[in-house]
């Protein structure tokens, strides 16, 4: 049973437009969420995180929104650039940011930004 | 930027060989993890450690073993490689945010 779901395996957007990547979770004990970006043959790179006490966190072109009642989070990239083309993984954990709970990952969404 | 290293980056090896994938980090993190990932799939946790002399199996059963003799070092060993072990192996460490190494792509012929 998947606790973290990324239902869109792929997304294609035009350069300069907004990319919105979605993630749903089922475990109400999750309270810390992260987004990673991954290029083929490389390890995931941490992008941005959000704690359940917040509903939004912004870092440059990247913003993560959390809707706890819907158990849904999204990553917005504005403006999208061709270099953003990669697979994006959503991850979640419980017991707080420094807690001992392991991260649970979604299957990823492949983003393609077309010039 | 995270200082976590994995060697080798790529490995092609024959069936039955013993291999060790190296992972080291210089951040002094107690928590370290090994994941296995196949294309188009999620990352599956196969081993983790919360400190020296502490190792646990992850959510995905794996024939590999790990050791944690030093804080900075968390090697993964396959005693007898098989084609089913072909995958990408990712090492990570964590204090708050979890950081990943560059990964090892393993191909067993």
Q: How many domains does chain A have?
A: 1
Q: What residue in A sits closest to B29 (Cα-Cα)?
A: A98
- What confidence score (pLDDT) does residue B39 get? 82
Q: What residue in B sits closest to A109 (Cα-Cα)?
A: B40
- Per CB-CB distance under 8 Å, the chain B contacts of A36 are 100
Q: How many domains does chain B have?
A: 1
B28 touches chain A (CB under 8 A): no
B107 touches chain A (CB under 8 A): no
A107-to-A8, A40, A89 alpha-carbon distances in Å: 9, 14, 7
Residues 49-78 in B contacting A (C-alpha not used; CB under 8 Å) = 50, 58-59
**pLDDT digits (tens), chain A, 115 positions:** 678 999 999 999 999 999 999 999 998 889 999 999 999 888 999 999 999 999 999 999 999 999 999 999 999 999 999 999 999 999 998 865 444 468 999 999 999 999 9
A107: containing domain: 4-96+103-114
Are the C-beta atoms of A65 and A55 separated by less than 8 Å? yes
DSSP conformation letters of B43-79: -EEEEEEEETTEEEE-SS--S-EE--SBTTB--EEES
CATH code: domain of residue B18 = 2.60.40.10
CATH code: domain of residue A18 = 2.60.40.10
B93: containing domain: 4-108
């Amino acid at each position: 049973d998947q606790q973290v779901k990324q239902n869109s395996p792929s997304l294609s957007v035009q350069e300069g437009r907004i990319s919105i990547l979605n993630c749903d979770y089922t475990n109400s004990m999750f309270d810390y969420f992260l987004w990673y970006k991954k290029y083929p043959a490389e390890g995931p790179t941490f992008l941005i995180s959000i704690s359940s006490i917040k509903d939004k966190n912004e870092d440059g072109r990247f913003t993560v929104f959390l809707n706890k009642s819907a158990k849904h989070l999204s990553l917005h990239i504005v403006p999208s650039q061709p270099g953003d083309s990669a697979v994006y993984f959503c991850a979640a954990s419980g017991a707080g940011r420094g807690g001992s709970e392991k991260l649970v990952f979604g299957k990823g969404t492949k983003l393609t930004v077309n010039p | 930027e995270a200082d976590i290293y994995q060697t080798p980056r790529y490995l092609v090896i024959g069936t039955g060989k013993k291999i060790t994938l190296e992972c080291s980090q210089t951040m002094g993190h107690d928590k370290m993890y090994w994941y296995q990932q196949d294309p188009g799939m999620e990352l599956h946790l196969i081993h983790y450690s919360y400190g020296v002399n502490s190792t646990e199996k992850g959510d995905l059963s794996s024939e590999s073993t790990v050791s944690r003799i030093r804080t900075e070092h968390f090697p993964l060993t396959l005693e007898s490689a098989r084609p089913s072990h072909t995958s990408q192996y990712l090492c990570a460490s964590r204090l708050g945010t979890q950081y990943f190494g560059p990964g090892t792509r393993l191909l067993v012929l």
